[in-house]
Amino acid sequence: MGTLQLPDYGPVPESALGPELNADGYFVDRVRDNLFWVTDGTYQAAFLATPQGVVLFDAPPTIGHNLRRAIDEVTAAEDLPNNVTHLVYSHHHADHAGASYLFGDVTRIGHVETRRLLRRDNDRARPVPDVTFEDRYTVEVGGSRVELAYHGPNHSPDNIYIHFPDHDTLMQIDIVNIGWVPIYNLNLSEDVPGYLEAPDRAMEYSWTHYLSGHLGRLGTRDDVVLHQRYIADIVDSAHAALGSVDPTPYFARYGANAWAGVAGYLDAVTDQAAAPVIEKYTGVLAAADIPALTTTTTFSILQSIRLDLGGGSQVHP
């Protein structure tokens, strides 16, 4: 068996790194007043510590039992009850909700589509929400207020906006990876136009602190603007590539093998569109030098330009 050859990548920019984790593998800190956040360096959750109990926002399984440890640590220091009374789902995906079952019989809150999808998925680790809403819902517990809103599909069909107006904070999951590029295919997003619009929606809210659901630090408005520039550069580059790459050689070369012609053409357009973006953001956003990440994100945007917006479509004469 040969030696596994793994590629080398550049160092992660300091701006992308968060605080060190403790011996149990997590970091918990105050966002503002009685709002706290927890990270394992890859995933994030948040909670409000109130005189009437704890309201938890998402339950990523990678943090798992460390959520309980973080809550106990904070509530003991704040001299507040540590019982979790409510759990808010940002969306139905297991990587953000798969530790929900650890909190037993709490009131779970989520979008109506989250309830439908969790019923479909039938995962005992993610109990369906007890309370659902369609457009907006206000959570009020122990003097703390949180505004939940649904603005349509983006990363997933049910992904909501969680606004803490009294804590100057917005929680928006799986849209902006603070300090990092999105992983494959726009963070594996299902609705590309909705995903592209989501940061603009976020900036309409009043907030200073941003909880993205991923990686090791809180975000700022400047972080969201940097993400918007990265995505806008991909969109511009994709339009340029669609207008400049000639599909004829690929279809002429492969003849009856239509899918080979399609693959050759789309790969060429994608590579041409992604290359300048990879070069521009290497060293600026972490993992920008992992070509597959920007390339697959570019491919998703290209296909949305073609299929959702009709860009690059060629009508037979």
The pLDDT, as a whole number, for residue 30 is 98
Quote the percentage of the chain above a pLDDT of 90: 93
What is the rounded CA–CA span in Å between residue 146 and residue 108? 14
The pLDDT, as a whole number, for residue 158 is 98
What's the whole-model pTM score?
A: 0.94
Residue 168 sits at φ, ψ, to 5 deg, of 55, 40
Residues pairing with 28 in the sheet: 38
260 is written with which tokens?
């080979």
The pLDDT, as a whole number, for residue 312 is 64
What is the rounded CA–CA span in Å between residue 257 and residue 169? 53
The pLDDT, as a whole number, for residue 36 is 98
Place of tokens 């479909």: 120
- Closest listed residue to residue 161, CA positions, set 181, 133, 142: 133
What is the rounded CA–CA span in Å between residue 187 and residue 28? 25
175 is written with which tokens?
């849209």
The pLDDT, as a whole number, for residue 315 is 64
Return contacts of 221-225, CB within 8 angstroms, 24+ apart: 223/176, 223/178, 223/179, 224/176, 224/199
Say if residues 66 and 57 touch (Cβ distance below 8 Å): no
Say if residues 213 and 41 touch (Cβ distance below 8 Å): no
Say if residues 155 and 198 touch (Cβ distance below 8 Å): yes
121 is written with which tokens?
């998925």
**Per-residue DSSP letter, 43:** B
Say if residues 145 and 139 touch (Cβ distance below 8 Å): yes
pLDDT digits (tens, 9 = 90+) for 69-120: 999 999 999 999 999 999 999 999 999 999 999 999 999 999 999 999 999 9
What is the rounded CA–CA span in Å between residue 208 and residue 168? 6
- SS3 of 27, please? strand
The pLDDT, as a whole number, for residue 313 is 66
The pLDDT tens digits along the chain (317 residues) read 578 889 999 899 999 999 999 999 999 999 999 999 999 999 999 999 999 999 999 999 999 999 999 999 999 999 999 999 999 999 999 999 999 999 999 999 999 999 999 999 999 999 999 999 999 999 999 999 999 999 999 999 999 999 999 999 999 999 999 999 999 999 999 999 999 999 999 999 999 999 999 999 999 999 999 999 999 999 999 999 998 999 999 999 999 999 999 999 999 999 999 999 999 999 999 999 999 999 999 999 999 998 888 876 666 67
Say if residues 72 and 28 touch (Cβ distance below 8 Å): no
* End-to-end C-alpha distance for the chain, whole angstroms: 56
The pLDDT, as a whole number, for residue 306 is 86
